[in-house]
């Protein structure tokens, strides 16, 4: 009897210790740690909207979005007018907070402090001297997007990031990319054949965003891990489903235990993540064991080749790391490129004179050739200006996110270690003090004299691919895909804005036309 009593007391006291420890962890994470960070930022002179713990400013953000969409719905006319002045539509809360707190302030996603930056000089002062490996990535996004990116290049930090970047960079060399041009031509032609069939069947209105997203998904899956493989197709389908599932769960990013707020979607994303991992593992295993010859010049093939050459020199990636990189290429690479192309088609539909100019340039540089030689693409200068102007007005990556891993001094303030940074690319791209009064007009010629910065008054004011050592690794792949797909489209079709188009750019990780992008397409 005494034995059972002792056992009972032991179980009881262990449970009490466990519960107390759990409560301490919860209150530390939800209140003590954020309150300390809040005081530290305040002491250093950073102001911003007042947070309500543990939600931070999330409810203010939701309210601003709801008010924005109510005013759009009550004024349906605004959907019919196409204005490029989009900052206050896509980021209504930042536009509002900028009015009271300026271009640098602190706001809170749940219990995570974010330093908002839309001032390129502040960014320059803050980032000069910080090496690529010294930047972190916000922990909240790492957790939330784990099924998408795993520990791939977008999310790695420190020495691990150096290692991955070092191993992956050669795969994106111009010589390797050239070998992928034919894969891009093949997928783009398939899409254009579909368009021709639709038009012949009396349906000239085409939702080009949907079409291009699916083509770009196919291209990135081919160029990353070879969709030709049957498993490749399954991976592509599941990756797409996961993206949709995940973005339903992202509504309470930063709030502790947010996975329990939307448990169904969180579990579904995890389940899909596991399935994708297994499919990619089998693709990699088949190539490693020779079941499928590793002679495909896709990114995975190049990394495996590098692995067998450099394995002993410690320059290889493990199978697990290869899986994460394949997923990363897909998620970082397909929607961004597709949206750059989709917004381009909208802007060209609004500016037929630029369609003509680009067609003339294509005739001169590429001629009437059916096969596109990648070496010619650099000659498409005007197309390069158009791309930069589209990335300025409708940047598919609307922000750059980093985390400060050590205290950083800027002017007389200290940004404490652990602070997340949210660099508002859309705001800087639409700032008249950086671009002039014509900031919201489509003027590709601004990149004629200054091909890198388009005359922006500050070198850190135009960051379509990020900055410093962590700049986008896929930018040359994107530029090649953009030029190939646009060349093929412009060589076959002209297009105009459909009367059914509703202009409603919004953010779903990327900046996208939330009601699709129907254009009226005509064969030339």
Applying CB under 6 A, the residues found at the interface with ligand HEM are: 153-154, 165, 328-329, 332-333, 336-337, 340, 396-397, 400, 464-467, 470-474, 477-478
Q: Which spans in 102-229 are helix H?
A: 120-127, 139-144, 146-149, 158-168, 174-178, 181-200, 208-225
Minimum distance from residue 179 beta carbon to ligand HEM (Å) = 15
Nearer to ligand HEM, 64 or 221 (CB): 221
Nearer to ligand HEM, 58 or 284 (CB): 284
The pairs formed by 435-439 with CB atoms below 8 angstroms and a separation of 24 or more are 435/392, 435/461
Least separation in angstroms between CB 470 and ligand HEM? 4
Distance CA 392, CA 420 (A): 24
**64 vs 393, beta carbon nearer ligand HEM:** 393
Smallest separation, CB 74 to ligand HEM (Å)? 33
Task: Please report, for residues 170, 286, 310, 319, 399, the alpha-carbon distance to residue 307 in angstroms, rounded to integers and kept in the order given.
Answer: 12, 15, 5, 10, 33
Q: How far is the CB of 344 from ligand HEM (least distance, A)?
A: 10
For ligand HEM, the closer CB: 78 or 506: 506
Note whether 95 and 16 are within 8 A (CB).
no
Q: How far is the CB of 172 from ligand HEM (least distance, A)?
A: 8
Instruction: Give the span between the Cα atoms of 256 and 27, in whole angstroms.
Output: 10
- CB within 8 A of 6, min separation 6: which ones? none
d(CA 184, CA 173): 17
The dihedral over CA atoms of 131, 335, 243, 515, expressed in degrees to the nearest 10, equals: 130
DSSP 82: -
Least distance in Å: CB of 156 to ligand HEM? 7
Determine how β-strand 112-117 pairs with β-strand 420-424.
Answer: parallel
* C-beta of 88 vs 337, nearer to ligand HEM: 337
CB of 89 to ligand HEM, least distance (A): 20
Question: In this complex, which beta carbon is closest to ligand HEM, that of residue 58 or of residue 183?
Answer: 183
Least CB distance to ligand HEM at residue 490 (A):
18
The burial class, CB within 10 Å (0-12 / 13-18 / 19+), for 20 is: exposed
CA distance 261 to 367: 57
Q: Is the dihedral of CA 142, 148, 150, 153 positive or negative?
A: negative
Q: Nearer to ligand HEM by C-beta: 384 or 474?
A: 474
Residue position matching structure tokens 């930047």: 135
Cis peptide before 54 (omega within 30 of 0): yes
Nearer to ligand HEM, 151 or 337 (CB): 337
Determine phi and psi for 403, rounding to 5 degrees. -130, 140
Which residue, 38 or 467, is less far from ligand HEM as judged by CB?
A: 467
Residue 122 CB, nearest distance to ligand HEM (Å)? 16
Give CA separation, 48 vs 89, 96, 131, 240, 307, in Å: 20, 11, 28, 37, 48
Please check if 326 is assigned to a binding site: no
HSE, side-chain direction, 13 A CA sphere, residue 518: 10
> Could you give the 3-state DSSP secondary structure of residue 205?
strand
Residue set of the binding site: 472
Residue set of the binding site for heme: 472
């Amino acid at each position: 009897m005494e034995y059972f009593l002792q056992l009972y007391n032991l179980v009881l006291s262990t449970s009490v210790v466990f519960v107390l420890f759990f409560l301490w962890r919860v209150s530390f994470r939800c209140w003590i740690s954020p309150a300390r960070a809040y005081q530290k930022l305040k002491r250093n002179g950073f102001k911003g909207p007042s947070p309500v713990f543990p939600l931070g400013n999330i409810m203010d953000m939701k309210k601003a979005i709801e008010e924005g969409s109510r005013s759009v719905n009550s004024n349906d006319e605004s959907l019919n007018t196409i204005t490029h002045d989009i900052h206050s539509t896509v980021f209504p809360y930042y536009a509002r907070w900028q009015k009271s707190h300026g271009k640098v302030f602190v706001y809170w996603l749940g219990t995570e402090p974010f330093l908002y930056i839309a001032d390129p000089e502040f960014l320059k002062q803050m980032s000069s001297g910080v090496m690529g490996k010294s930047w972190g990535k916000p922990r909240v996004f790492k957790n939330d997007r784990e099924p998408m990116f795993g520990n791939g290049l977008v999310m790695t930090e420190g020495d691990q990031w150096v290692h991955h970047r070092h191993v992956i960079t050669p795969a994106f060399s111009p010589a390797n990319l050239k070998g992928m041009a034919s894969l891009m031509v093949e997928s783009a032609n398939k899409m254009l054949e579909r368009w021709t069939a639709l038009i012949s069947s009396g349906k000239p209105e085409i939702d080009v965003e949907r079409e291009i997203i699916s083509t770009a998904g196919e291209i990135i899956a081919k160029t990353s891990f070879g969709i030709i493989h049957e498993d490749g197709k399954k991976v592509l389908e599941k990756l797409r489903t996961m993206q949709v599932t995940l973005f339903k769960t992202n509504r309470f990013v930063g709030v502790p235990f947010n996975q329990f707020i939307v448990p169904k979607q969180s579990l579904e994303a995890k389940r899909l993540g596991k399935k994708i991992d297994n499919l990619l593992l089998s693709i990699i295993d088949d190539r490693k064991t020779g079941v499928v010859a590793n002679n495909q010049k896709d990114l995975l093939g190049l990394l495996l080749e590098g692995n067998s050459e450099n394995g002993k020199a410690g320059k290889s990636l493990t199978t697990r790391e290869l899986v994460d990189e394949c997923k990363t290429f897909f998620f970082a690479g397909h929607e961004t490129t597709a949206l750059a192309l989709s917004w381009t088609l909208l802007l060209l539909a609004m500016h037929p004179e630029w369609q003509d100019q680009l067609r003339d340039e294509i005739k001169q540089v590429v001629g009437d050739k059916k096969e596109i030689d990648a070496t010619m693409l650099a000659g498409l200068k005007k197309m390069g200006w158009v791309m930069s102007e589209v990335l300025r007005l409708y940047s598919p990556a609307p922000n750059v996110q980093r985390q400060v891993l050590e205290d950083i001094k800027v002017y007389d303030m200290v940004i404490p270690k652990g602070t997340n940074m949210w660099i508002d690319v859309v705001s800087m791209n639409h700032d008249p003090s950086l671009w002039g009064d014509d900031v919201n007009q489509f003027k590709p010629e601004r990149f004629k004299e200054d091909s890198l910065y388009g005359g922006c008054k500050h070198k850190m004011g135009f960051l379509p691919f990020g900055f410093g050592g962590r700049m986008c690794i896929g930018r040359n792949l994107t530029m090649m895909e953009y030029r190939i797909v646009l060349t093929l489209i412009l060589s076959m079709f002209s297009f105009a804005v459909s009367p059914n188009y509703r202009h409603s750019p919004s953010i779903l990780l990327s900046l996208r036309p939330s009601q699709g992008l129907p254009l009226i397409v005509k064969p030339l």
